[in-house]
């Protein structure tokens, strides 16, 4: 409990490569390791104003060393007409006795590099700028550049106080225990008149997609999965075809229902005028029809009788 692990070393081999890529026999390992450390110290001391974030080394079998410098200010490293790079290469070759090849990589967004952010804060503290203001401005610029989280911690005699203390600030999320989290870590030292102040910066850029071990074997297991979802749309299509039929069926009987009673009511008066006997025979089937037909016939029979009675006395 309470033990701290370097975030960069904690993720080596998961998705982050080593900064030194070479192989040596047991008797030569110590010598080559100290050469790398001394070479980094020489470059950082000479180009301390060039904004160097990382130095990578690679050794080949023919005693040639390739040095890759990641910097935010490539113009300072290259110099006028490449004079600074040539002078640096010559000094390294004389010092270590190997052929040296230098390549420069430009950092497009220095606000997202933890080492550069820490050095920027340290330089502001050396210029007597308030540590709280420097911390807040750096956090704001980093979050605007697209980072998902940042944490800044300072320790020492802040503002010249007699008792050293530690202050920190954070914005967003910084999951240090997640191995797939792309977290960059950087630290710098501010040398002030009242002591040394240490600055640490953690920047979280999001999760990294790690390829499964075995490569092809993992891809073969994932390939058959799309076959299952292709069969699922079939029942959905069948349900959609049935639903419109069910929705069209109910309105049809609602329209035909009023039309059925209207047809016999209109045809009823025509039948007794042409043939009263046929209408009487057809009347017993429906209940209401015989009542209407009988009333009409009695009225028709009553009319001629009234005429004969009126003619007789005259």
**Among 36, 41, 93, which Cα is nearest to 64's?**
93
Residue 67's pLDDT is what? 93
Please tell me the distance from the alpha carbon of residue 126 to that of residue 191, in angstroms, as a whole number. Answer: 6
Please tell me the distance from the alpha carbon of residue 155 to that of residue 153, in angstroms, as a whole number. Answer: 7
The CA radius of gyration of the chain, in Å to the nearest whole number, is 48
Tokens of 236: 């959905």
Contact 126, 191 (CB under 8 A): yes
Taking the CB of residue 54, how many other CB atoms lie within 10 A of it? 18
Contact 177, 159 (CB under 8 A): no
Q: Which residues of the chain have pLDDT under 70?
A: 1, 213-314
Please tell me the distance from the alpha carbon of residue 110 to that of residue 101, in angstroms, as a whole number. Answer: 25
Please tell me the distance from the alpha carbon of residue 105 to that of residue 19, in angstroms, as a whole number. Answer: 14
Q: What is the pLDDT of residues 60-85, one digit of tens each?
A: 877 788 999 999 999 989 988 888 89
Tokens of 201: 């910066």
Residue 3's pLDDT is what? 82
- DSSP 3-state of 295: helix
Tokens of 36: 């790398």
The region that residue 206 occupies, defined by phi over 0 for left and psi between -120 and 50 for alpha, beta otherwise, is: left
Please tell me the distance from the alpha carbon of residue 30 to that of residue 25, in angstroms, as a whole number. Answer: 9
Q: From residue 24, give the alpha-carbon distance in Å to each of 27, 166, 201, 241.
A: 8, 42, 33, 72
- Tokens 């994932």 identify what position? 222
Across the beta sheet with 64-71, the strand order is: 20-21, 52-59, 64-71, 99-106
Please tell me the distance from the alpha carbon of residue 106 to that of residue 75, in angstroms, as a whole number. Answer: 10
Share of the chain above pLDDT 90, in %: 47
Tokens of 266: 């209109």
């Amino acid at each position: 409990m309470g033990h701290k692990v370097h975030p960069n070393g904690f993720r080596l081999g998961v998705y982050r490569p080593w900064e030194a890529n070479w192989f040596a026999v047991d008797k030569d390992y110590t010598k080559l390791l100290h050469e790398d450390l001394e070479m980094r110290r020489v470059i950082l001391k000479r180009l301390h104003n060039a904004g160097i974030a990382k130095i990578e080394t690679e050794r080949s079998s023919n005693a040639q060393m390739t040095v890759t410098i990641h910097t935010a200010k490539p113009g300072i490293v290259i110099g006028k007409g490449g004079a600074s790079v040539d002078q640096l290469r010559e000094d390294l070759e004389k010092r270590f006795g190997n052929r040296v090849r230098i390549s420069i990589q430009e950092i497009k967004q220095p606000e997202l590099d933890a080492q550069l952010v820490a050095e920027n804060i340290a330089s502001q503290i050396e210029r007597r700028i308030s540590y709280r203001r420097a911390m807040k401005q750096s956090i704001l610029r980093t979050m605007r550049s697209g980072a998902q989280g940042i944490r800044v911690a300072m320790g020492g005699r802040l503002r010249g106080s007699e008792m050293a203390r530690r202050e920190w600030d954070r914005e967003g999320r910084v999951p240090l225990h997640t191995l797939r989290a792309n977290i960059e870590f950087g630290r710098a030292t501010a040398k002030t008149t009242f002591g040394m102040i240490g600055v640490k910066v953690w920047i979280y850029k999001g999760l990294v997609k790690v390829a499964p071990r075995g490569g092809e074997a993992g891809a073969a297991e994932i390939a058959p999965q799309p076959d299952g979802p292709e069969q699922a749309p079939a029942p959905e299509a069948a349900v959609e075809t049935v639903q419109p039929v069910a929705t069209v069926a109910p309105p049809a009987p609602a329209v035909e229902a009023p039309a059925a009673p209207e047809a016999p009511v209109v045809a009823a008066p025509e039948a007794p005028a042409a043939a009263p006997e046929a209408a009487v025979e057809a009347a017993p089937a429906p209940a209401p029809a015989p009542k209407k037909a009988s009333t009409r016939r009695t009225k028709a029979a009553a009319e001629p009788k009234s005429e004969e009675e009126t003619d007789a006395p005259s």
